[in-house]
Chains A and B, each alone.
Chain A
Amino acid sequence: MEDRSNAEKAELPLTALRDGESGIVTSIKAGSGMGRGWGFKKRLLDMGLTPGTIVTVVKSAPFHGPLEVFVRGSRLALGRGMAQRIFVEKKK
């Protein structure tokens, strides 16, 4: 588990990564508390996008389509709206 100092480093939305780049998940900004958006945040966590996880953007579909990411040994398709709410720290 990461400590808080990570949040102070450059946080980027996952969509800012270019094809082939990787990042470490810092947070998911999808609704605070348990209200709206919570279900989808939980969904992303359940699919393995927990803080500290390495995510690789394989490619993004054209015309602002979804992202193909590689996480925890499997391939996920993430809608762009969802991917914008996943924040990562770019991995060199």
Chain B
Amino acid sequence: MNEKKLTIALAGNANVGKSVVFNYLTGLHQHIGNWPGKTVEKAEGTLHFKGYTIDIIDLPGIYSLSTFSMEELISREYIAAERPDLVINIVDASVLERNLFFTLQLMELETPMVMALNQMDMAKKKGIKIVHKKLEKLLGMSVIPTVAIKGTGVYELLERSIEIIEKGGKNSPKIKYGKEIEGRIKKIAKLVEKIQFRYPARWVAIKLLEGDEQVEEEIRKINPEILLTTERLSKEIEEIHGHSCPTVITSDRYEIAGKIAREVQQIMPQISPPMRERLHTLTTHKIWGYSIMGISILAIFYSIFTFGSYASGLLNNFFYGWQPIFKSVLGVKIVGNLVWGAMEGIIAGVTVALPYIVPFYLILYFLEDSGYLSRIAFLMDNLMHKIGLHGKAFIPLMLGYGCNVPACLGCRIMETKRERLLAGFVVTLVPCAARTVIILGLVGAFVGVQWALALYAINLLIIFVLGRLAFKALPGEPTALIMEMHDYRMPHLKTVLNQTWFRLKEFIKIAFPLIIVGSLVIKLMDLLELLNPIANILSPITVTWLGLPTVVGITLIFGVLRKELTLIMLVPLLNKTDLAEVAQVLGPIGIVVFTLVTMFYIPCIATIAALVREFGWKKALFITVFEVFFAILVGGIAFKLLMLAKIWSS
């Protein structure tokens, strides 16, 4: 049987349960990639329903269709140019007015639409009653009440969607603005109708009055006279209202959304503040909020690192248990060695990915879905401003303590390219789990815990100084936090699990190829006996400037694969049997200098891959080279200072 193909796009604000609907519809038949040429995520999935193969596109969660962010541009471009068969607008019933503002904009794109009035249970709890039939009538589109986390209404939603498409997919009706605006929209639209343009004429007219830069630019190339007319008309609107024309249009649109919302909903006053309100007040409180945040972050790190090092050890033992078998099968000749080298790469990846990254992602998505991450962003906003970022940047930064790779990818939550780059750079300076192994395992164990803590403090200080410098050096204006803090809610387990799974797949795709190639290259260098000569070439830096043993040059090369190898490799290379002996060779000063260098000297190969993917190879190369020089500089200075202190104190 030949199945007919359909495309349905999901659109809506952030945190309305869009990804829950998406997961419900597509399950594991998902593909997460990027929009062509953009670092904006594209989630796509397929589903079979009533003889159709339906391609579901999950558009980014946004509040408007202006040019504020890449997400907004991509969404409108997709709907206008790709013309999906239908757009399902997912709406949070408990914040109807704000959501309808977005609905009205979708309707302006003149596409067939259905509304999923989601989180009906939340609305009910907040004392909001919505007559969806009335909403249906006012908007002129089908409205299906849903509770996506329970799957309620999702089947009807799909059924109705197919029904609408089968009936020929009538476009959503037009929403009328105030008389003085409406007349002028029509005048401009008439002019636009005469030119060939991929967007609907009326939409273009509205966007021109809103001062949309991208649309202006394109229309200027086709017919600049339209812009002159627009300018004249928008001046007239300004005269009438006393506000700029874009302000008037946005206000009017909100006015319409508000009016519809008031007509369809009844709000019952609530007697006592419910649990989630009290929780919100507590978690954003100036004393309790910070205490709770501090304790939760510490608890999360503690449990992840305890679990991580335990599981990592188990996996390592398991894999290395196979080494003799491998060696006996493949032999210890060049081929066997190379194959084992590649295996080591895979083992390295697995022993980091599974024990550290999986729990980190699980907790992260759990916190995000519940709403707690936005509270953390609220509390940390002020601090992040010191390095030219805002509160949301704290989240990738925190992620960086687990692993820099997801942290780099996590910088996408920042709105502008400049902020993403700034956050991406800062994130690579954060000591990840692998670096923590060295800080705690070497400094903490053999010099003292206070020194380990001091190193963390120095690291934070350097992050702030470098972040601030980068912030000053990068062109562009500082940005500010504008973020919705949605109500606390119970996270949806299946969505959290799904997201973790797809993130893990993404990590493997980015990190593994380079880790394996890197392992092979180093193994080859080892076999060709190139490592010692390289270490000798590096000795002016490692020995003279940093005061470390020559072999550190070799371990620093291995450390590019994963940072803890800088330490682990020292044991055999110094001909020792355990770390205690290594610590003795290095001495306290050597340990501190070595750890400082390892902390900063290069993002590991997987992180470099992530940087290339997010920011292009030029910027990735720049960050990498900069950090190498910076680490050598810091290490050398620390060495000199510590030596001086030693002489002075004795």
Contact = CB atoms under 8 A, between A and B. Distances in A.
A16 interface: no
A8 to B, nearest CB: 11
Given A66-B391, A66-B481, A48 B97 contact: yes
A27 interface: yes
Interface string B202-225: 000000001101000000000000
B381 A61 contact: yes
Contacts of B247: 28, 45, 50-51
Interface stretch (B436-444, B482-490, B634-642): B482-490
A76 B98 CA distance: 12
Nearest to B374: A77
Interface in B232-285: 241-243, 246-248, 250-252, 254-255, 258, 261, 280, 284
A78 interface: yes
Contacts of B66: 42, 46
A73 B97 contact: yes
A2 B248 CA distance: 10
B161 interface: no
A89 interface: no
Nearest to A27: B243
B120 to A, nearest CB: 16
A79 B241 CA distance: 29
Given A38-B211, A61-B284, A79-B390, A51 B251 contact: yes
Contacts of A45: 246-247, 250-251
A59 B64 CA distance: 26
A26 to B, nearest CB: 10
A79 B98 CA distance: 20
B340 interface: no
A7 B210 CA distance: 22
A74 B302 CA distance: 35
Interface string A47-79: 110111100000101111110100011111111
Contacts of A3: 242
Given A46-B66, A46-B68, A40 B286 contact: no
Nearest to A85: B480
Nearest to A31: B477
A43 interface: yes
A47 B484 contact: yes
Nearest to B286: A62
A27 B486 CA distance: 26
B382 interface: yes
A86 B484 CA distance: 17
A73 B483 contact: no
Contacts of B241: 1
B483 A77 contact: yes
Contacts of B487: 75
B243 A37 contact: no
Contact of B254 (A2, A4, A48, A77): A48
A77 B480 contact: no
Contacts of B96: 73
A50 B381 contact: no
A62 B380 CA distance: 10
Contact of B484 (A36, A62, A76): A76
Contacts of B280: 75
A75 B213 contact: no
A77 B394 CA distance: 15
Contacts of B483: 76-77
B37 to A, nearest CB: 21
B158 interface: no
B130 to A, nearest CB: 12
Contacts of B486: 74-75
Question: How large, as a class, is the contact surface on chain A?
Answer: 35 or more
Given A50-B250, A53-B254, A44 B482 contact: yes
Interface string A5-28: 001000000000000000000011
Contacts of B379: 61, 65
A75 B482 CA distance: 11
Contacts of B210: 42
A64 B251 contact: no
Interface in B74-104: 95-98, 101
B378 A68 contact: yes
A82 B98 contact: no
Contacts of B67: 39
Contacts of A28: 247
Contacts of A52: 251
A7 B322 CA distance: 78
B374 A66 contact: no
B125 to A, nearest CB: 14
Interface in B174-232: 210-211, 213
B480 A82 contact: yes
A79 B479 CA distance: 9
B251 A1 contact: yes
B478 interface: yes
A63 B211 contact: no
Contacts of A64: 382
Given A40-B482, A61-B286, A78-B482, A51 B381 contact: no
B98 A48 contact: yes
B482 A76 contact: yes
Contacts of B417: none
Contacts of B507: none
A73 B280 CA distance: 16
A27 to B, nearest CB: 7
B480 A40 contact: yes
A79 B485 contact: no
Contacts of B63: 46-47
A75 to B, nearest CB: 5
17 contacts: A1-B243, A1-B255, A42-B250, A64-B382, A65-B382, A72-B97, A73-B98, A74-B98, A75-B485, A77-B374, A77-B377, A77-B378, A77-B381, A78-B481, A81-B478, A82-B480, A82-B481
Interface of B: 63-64, 66-68, 95-98, 101, 210-211, 213, 241-243, 246-248, 250-252, 254-255, 258, 261, 280, 284, 286, 374, 377-379, 381-382, 385, 390-391, 477-487
Interface of A: 1-4, 7, 27-28, 34, 36-40, 42-48, 50-53, 59, 61-66, 68, 72-82
Q: In the A-B complex, list the 8 residue pairs whose CB atoms are closest, starting with the nearest.
A: A79-B480, A50-B251, A46-B64, A82-B480, A79-B481, A65-B382, A45-B250, A62-B286
Given A3-B242, A42-B246, A61-B378, 6 more contacts: A40-B480, A40-B482, A46-B68, A72-B98, A72-B254, A73-B98
